[in-house]
Amino acid sequence: MLEIKNATKVFGKGSAVEHTALRQLNLCLNDGEFATIIGSNGAGKSTLFNAICGAFLLDEGSVSLDGRDITFVPEHRRAKRIGRVFQDPMLGTAPNMTIAENLSLAHSRTTTGPLHFAPSRKEKALFRDRLAQFGMGLENRMNTRVGLLSGGQRQAVTLLMCTIVPPRLLLLDEHTAALDPAMAEKVLALTQKIVKEEKLSCLMITHNMQSALELGNRTLVMDSGRVVMDVSGKEREKLTVPLLLEQFKTLSGRALDNDRMLMS
């Protein structure tokens, strides 16, 4: 479904600040897989997502989706098949537009015609039904500008925007990191519900190691631009956070020492 081969990306090439963010990275994600990704700051997690979305061209390697090479496909064209929710609740929505208008834009993104933000009566009914499932009362605030919503409410709208037309691939870039614990838990529950019901293929970056082992069916650990651990099935079921830390240290020769992860 998603196949990344020998992906390499170097920033500031030839300068004093040259940094290899992705280093011959290989990854395959099958249909319906939900994989969590952890790693220290600078491990290459968000760079990997940017490579998948087409935010830049790789220096080496390729990206394929559903057997089609999309390595040189522009970002806006990939967006028709790839949904992404960012860490910052302010990203991914138009703050001066209403909930209904934002959802209408998202609903029309996969059509061949122009984008539109004036929802039809049928679309409004669909949006209201989907929003009601969130249990946040957003179905009664469809004419409210998104910029007036709380961070958690905005992330819920963004999540719905990315999945109102099920994408072939959903990328969650620490999408609960900026939320308070109660709201983060609620958005994670919504995430699991949507991914399961829509049978989505999903990659989720998280700094919470416990969540990384509990959510989805596969856990990836990145370090220095590579995937250094890839666990699933019975091996993952037996894995605890202390064992994960121990295995990472054995493989990389150093501790997984990101404070945010250790405090999660």
Q: Does domain 2-81+168-263 have CATH number 3.20.20.10?
A: no
262 pLDDT exceeds 50?
no
| Backbone phi, psi, residue 241, to 5° | -60, -45
Q: Is 52 helix (H, G, I), strand (E, B) or coil?
A: helix
pLDDT in tens, 166-217: 999 999 999 998 888 888 888 898 899 999 999 999 999 998 899 999 999 9
Q: Domain boundaries in the chain?
A: 2-81+168-263, 95-166
pLDDT in tens, 116-131: 667 888 989 999 999 9
113 pLDDT exceeds 60?
no
Separation of alpha carbons 228 and 220, rounded Å? 8
Separation of alpha carbons 152 and 167, rounded Å? 22
Separation of alpha carbons 22 and 60, rounded Å? 10
